[in-house]
A and B are shown apart, each in its own frame.
Chain A
């Protein structure tokens, strides 16, 4: 009865197989809850409610970045039962062909689209949208949607505000808390303050029945979540000053920064060439053009470029010398068109009378004087070696905020560069280098690198006579407002400030380096710099503050290829100071404004 056995065996096999299917069904339909909750998610529809993004204000309440409503028309192709193409075209102000094309696309991909709702037309103008709302019932399947978009009422600070765009797949992978359709701040303050500005999305829950009809609000709307609007941000930027600064820098490459010294608040942060706010609003279509612009407008030079500070650094050198006791304010050093630091090697200087005191050396920006000072710092008997003295010098320089990030609110800040003694140990060998090896550091050249913001911070330190609060542009209770002292006696600053005052307020005949920056009644104190540039014309640098007593504003101007410091940077910085303190440019300086424009 072998065949009988096989017959029975096959029937048993059939039973076992069926039991397998039934067991699996029993498991997923009755035992396991996972599939039930999933199914609930699918028949309950969550409709996302987007919060308005936080508004960015300037220091006086002027809106820098706001929101405006834009109008889209949405369509659920499956619900379009009849369509009067011409009427819809008339209502929305669209071409009938546009509508026909869209509808035929929906037909082609109807299985893929399913019950999804799609954007039918973007950026419908408000009039058309209102017209549509009145007759919406005539177009089943179509409905309107209002979204908010960034709006820039004031053309200032495109560069520092940054832009907002929809997240892409790559971004979502790295930031899983974002979903398709969300916007995110990409650069500048929009990126730095993304977590405050974005707010929290909400949702509205409703139920669908098996024929895709929306039945009701789920649970009477009790489980709906309201969108939480983004937090507004109050910046320290002065919108008008920012705009004026951008104007002054138009056509130039470089940075112009103004800080309120007593608070560290940044009044203006201009990187030129910058981004027009018009471009910011529609970054998607402008990005390619902006990123290929040789002027690199997307690059914020104020914090992302590192330059040699140049002669403005002489003040730092002199102040360290005095604090270390190797320079008395009255000490005079002679200069015959430069300083010979090794046989046949000379660091040049311009023609001026000799010898000079510290104050005069600042006024006339003598190179030789600060070579002597730096030499004294490094050959101080207090320290066992040049390297040890150098370390002390480095410590002071870092206290001035150079060599590492200041910690401002702008993302992507650079730290600049202050060399360490170990670096020279490596180049020359331990104890095999001396002052003559690093002479150019005395006048802010060589291995020194500083961002324009760090140079502006130097101006604030000089204005405050020895301390600073980290420069920032967002007013925030939680902000760390620690006063950073540079560790140099306040009275030494007065000698340098007198020199800075003279540099601006004396005449060329008396050796003043920045007479163009003089504004009657403002007592501007300034120091020019001319940073050597091996690639072309020198960079023009100027730091200043005003008024001399109780300063309200400290400015740094760094103009690439601007030439000598007194010629470009000084007039630009002084115009910014004058505009801020007086609210206008005086009659007698109007020519300077016009001249700077064409220069």
Chain B
């Protein structure tokens, strides 16, 4: 891929696959936003009074921003700007708690005249840049306590402010950074640990407590008897008993405090959404309504779908938020399994391509940023699509490039084009 030539032409330095994915997803978005709204708005595709028209305008604006990033702004600016931008965004996240306006229960929006935007959208870019900045520094080892603490601070400070604003969706997206950290040296046991935490949390809510304890015991047992016997473990033999005891204590604490956290930390509507997902509560007219209607819409699409503009579920307003968070319903209903699979495969191709590009980079900055980007897109895809088909609780986050909304379109595009610019730099000089 990199054969040592420098100063290649524009055509050769840009990853056209990524650009193609971007364009395809954005067009799919516009087509489906039009379908979701056509029965109520009843206008033509390009009418700026309609959502589809506005989305086209936003795609134009985003593309302009993207081209600016690609051809005008010098790529090293991103590295230099990383820390000041991160501080600025943290400041904005703090300010929005004081002066922001509340939309759908989360106090995370700045209202500037006709324009409104969420600083947490920006925080995904700045956090990725700062992480790239630190990890690139010579001698930085994630396994070392001081460096690990820096990473935790870079992630934790904006995350805490986002949580305080009630924007749970973006907070979950932050979990995507774990893949980058894993690639950059974090032990795989952290992934296991995180996964185990989620499993324990879910089982403690859904089943009697003893089930969670049984799972914990089973997990420890499997580690001791099977993994330890096998190739290698992370714990030295002499520390095994103590470590397992520690795991047992931490696990028990998690289980015991789950209900407490569940009752007191989560807000009532979030609890209900989780309850509905886990089948603890049936609430087809309330919190379960969205999911139920959305699954009906997608399910009714069948293999080939009902045909463009022929969907009855999304068009009637049975599915709420159909052009933003639930846009996948329109795709599912009108284009069926074929359409859904196409969108998912496009995302898989996009993420996989980003990973491939990142892995091939010599600049660690670009590689880290690429992994951050991939993790972010991955979380958005999993949470958003998972929510519409009843795999995830209802969390209001957009499907990148497809969902209606100017600020998410712009910020995702900027994120992607920053990577394209970094990549271009890479290809120009290596």
Could you pull out 23 A-B pairs where Cβ atoms are within 8 angstroms?
A: A9-B188, A11-B355, A14-B352, A14-B355, A17-B378, A21-B381, A21-B382, A25-B344, A29-B298, A29-B301, A29-B336, A29-B340, A30-B337, A36-B302, A40-B300, A42-B316, A43-B313, A114-B316, A114-B317, A208-B316, A210-B309, A210-B311, A210-B316
Q: State the Cβ distance, A18 to closest chain B Cβ, in Å.
A: 5
The number of chain B residues with a CB under 8 A from chain A is 49
Bound Cα distance A36, B336 (Å): 12
Q: How far is the CA of A219 from the CA of B317 in the complex (A)?
A: 25
Complex interface: chain A residues within 8 A of B309 (CB): 210
A201 within 8 A of B: no
A101 contacts chain B at the CB level, 8 A cutoff: no
In the complex, B312 has a CB within 8 A of chain A: yes
Residues of B within 8 A of A9 (CB): 188
Given A20-B391, A21-B389, A25-B341, A35 and B296 contact (CB-CB distance below 8 Å): yes
A78 interface residue per 8 A CB criterion: yes
- The answer, yes or no, to whether B2 is at the interface (CB within 8 Å) is no
Contact flag A21-B344 (CB < 8 Å), given A11-B355, A210-B39? yes
By the criterion CB–CB under 8 Å, are A28 and B389 in contact?
yes
Nearest B residue to A81, CB-CB: B42
Give the chain A neighbours of B391 by CB distance below 8 A.
20-21, 24
Q: A7-B183, A10-B179, A10-B183 are in contact. Are A28 and B298 (CB under 8 A)?
A: yes
Give the chain B neighbours of A115 by CB distance below 8 A.
Answer: 316-317
On whether the beta carbons of B348 and A35 are closer than 8 Å, the reply is no
* Any A CB within 8 A of the CB of B78: no
Q: Please, how many angstroms separate the alpha-carbon atoms of A3 and B355 in the complex?
A: 12
CB distance from A47 to the nearest CB of B (A): 16
Mask of B388-422 contacts with A, CB within 8 angstroms, 1/0: 01110000000000000000000000000000000
Chain B interface, >50% SS class: helix
Establish whether residues B182 and A10, one from each chain, have CB atoms under 8 Å apart when the complex forms.
yes
Tell me the chain A residues, 202-225 only, with Cβ under 8 Å from chain B: 208-212
Partner of A35, one of B39, B295, B341, B345: B295
Taking a contact as CB atoms under 8 Å apart, the answer to whether A38 and B179 are in contact is no
Q: How far is the CA of A11 from the CA of B183 in the complex (A)?
A: 11
Task: Contacts A10-B355, A15-B348, A18-B344 given; indicate if A212 touches B299 (C-beta within 8 A).
Answer: no
* Interface contact B300-A212, CB-CB below 8 Å: no
| B277 contacts partner chain A, Cβ-Cβ < 8 Å | no
Q: In angstroms, how far is the closest chain B Cβ from the Cβ of A218?
A: 14
Expressed in whole angstroms, the Cα–Cα distance for A363 and B309 within the complex equals: 92
A180 contacts the other chain (CB 8 A): no
Which residues of A sit under 8 angstroms from B316, Cβ to Cβ? 42-43, 114-115, 208, 210, 212
- Judge whether A6 is part of the interface by a CB distance below 8 angstroms: yes
In the complex, are the beta carbons of B39 and A212 less than 8 A apart?
Answer: yes
B38: Cβ under 8 A from any A Cβ = yes
Name the A residues within 8 Å of B336 (CB-CB): 29
A288 within 8 A of B: no
Report the contact-size class of chain A (Cβ under 8 Å from the partner): 35 or more
- Taken together as a complex, chains A and B put the C-alpha atoms of A40 and B40 apart, in Å, by 21
In the complex, besides A38-B296, A111-B317, 8 extra interface pairs with C-beta distance below 8 angstroms are A7-B355, A21-B381, A22-B340, A25-B337, A29-B340, A35-B300, A39-B299, A210-B310
Give 8 closest A-B pairs by Cβ, nearest first. A35-B299, A39-B300, A43-B312, A210-B315, A28-B299, A114-B317, A211-B39, A29-B337
> In the complex, what distance in Å separates the CA atom of A454 from the CA atom of B61?
88
Q: Check: A34 CB closer than 8 A to any chain B CB.
A: yes
Most buried by A among B299, B303, B359, B386: B299
- Residues on the A chain within 8 Å of B355, using CB: 7, 10-11, 14
Check A6 against B332 for contact (C-beta < 8 Å).
no
Q: Is the CB of B389 within 8 A of A25?
A: yes
Decide yes or no whether A32 CB sits under 8 A from chain B. yes
- Tell me if A26 counts as interface (CB < 8 A to partner B): yes
A39-B312, A210-B311, A211-B38 known; A29+B302 contact, CB < 8 A = yes
**How many angstroms from the CA of A6 to the CA of B182 in the assembled complex?**
8
With A and B bound together, what is the CA distance between A25 and B316 in angstroms? 22
Residue in chain A with minimal CB distance to B183: A6
* Cβ–Cβ < 8 Å partners of A39 in chain B: 296-297, 299-300, 312-313
Among B39-70, those with CB < 8 Å from A are: 39-40, 42
Cα(A21)–Cα(B299), bound, Å: 13
Q: Max chain A CB contacts within 10 Å: which of B38, B188, B316, B378?
A: B316
B residues near A210, Cβ cutoff 8 Å: 39, 306, 309-312, 315-316
The reply to whether B302 and A30 contact each other, CB–CB distance below 8 Å, is yes
Closest CB-CB distance, A178 to chain B, in whole Å?
Answer: 17
Contacts of A3 in B (CB 8 A): 183
Q: Report if B173 contacts A (CB, 8 A).
A: no
With known contacts A29-B299, A114-B317, A210-B309, A24–B39 Cβ distance under 8 A: no
In the assembled complex, the Cα of A210 lies from the Cα of B309 at a distance in Å of 7
User: Are the CB atoms of A34 and B315 closer together than 8 Å?
Assistant: no
Q: Does B385 have its Cβ within 8 Å of any Cβ on chain A? A: yes
A22 to B39, CA, bound (A): 29
From A7, A29, A40, contact of B332 by CB (8 A): A29
* Closest A residue to B310 using CB positions: A210
Residue B318 lies at the interface, judged by CB distance under 8 Å to chain A = yes
Q: Compute how far the CA of A111 lies from the CA of B303 in the bound complex, rounded to whole angstroms.
A: 31
User: Quick one: which of A35, A42, A111, A208 contacts B298, CB cutoff 8 A?
Assistant: A35
Structural contact, B312 and A14, CB atoms closer than 8 A: no
Q: Complex formed: what's the CA distance from A334 to B355 in Å?
A: 119
CA distance A78 to B389 in the complex (A): 29
Which of A14, A36, A208 is B348 in contact with, Cβ under 8 Å? A14
Residues B312 and A209 in contact, CB atoms below 8 Å apart: yes
Is B351 an interface position by the 8 A CB rule?
Answer: yes
Known A-B contacts A21-B385, A39-B312; the reply to A28 vs B295 at CB < 8 A is: yes
- Complex Cα–Cα for A51 and B60 (A): 58
For A14, give its contact among B39, B301, B313, B351 (CB under 8 Å).
B351
Task: Report the bound CA distance from A6 to B359 in whole Å.
Answer: 10
Contacting residues, chain A, for B317 (C-beta < 8 A): 111, 114-115
Interface residues of B in 301-333 (CB under 8 A from A): 301-303, 306, 309-313, 315-318, 320, 332
Q: Is the CB of A25 within 8 A of B340?
A: yes
By a CB distance below 8 angstroms, the chain A residues around B312 are 39, 42-43, 208-210
CA distance A477 to B302 in the complex (A): 56
In angstroms, Cα B347 to Cα A15, docked, is 11
